[in-house]
Structure 1
Amino acid sequence: DSTRSFCVIQIVSANEEIFCNYSVRTRPLIENFNLQLIDYLHKS
């Protein structure tokens, strides 16, 4: 089901998590955004 929602949990640091709930159709975009955000947070 391409419209089924899913949850992305990215561990940013020991105590931080990002919870996202999007349509599967947007998953590649959201995953790319998450990777960029994690990279940014690790550099800051």
Structure 2
Amino acid sequence: ETPMACGIGICFSCVAKVHMGDGGWDYKRTCVEGPVFDASAIHWER
């Protein structure tokens, strides 16, 4: 684990790329919308 810069969602240094329902993707802040996400929702980079 790495420490989060602010922990309240202002700095956007903790974002994770996740799939959206419309087939696209968006960045979600792990300190606000997470830290746990469904593994199938994560956009895993290759």
TM-score where L is the length of structure 2: 0.32
Whose helix fraction is larger, Structure 1's or Structure 2's?
1
* Structure with the greater alpha carbon radius of gyration: 1
TM-score where L is the length of structure 1: 0.32
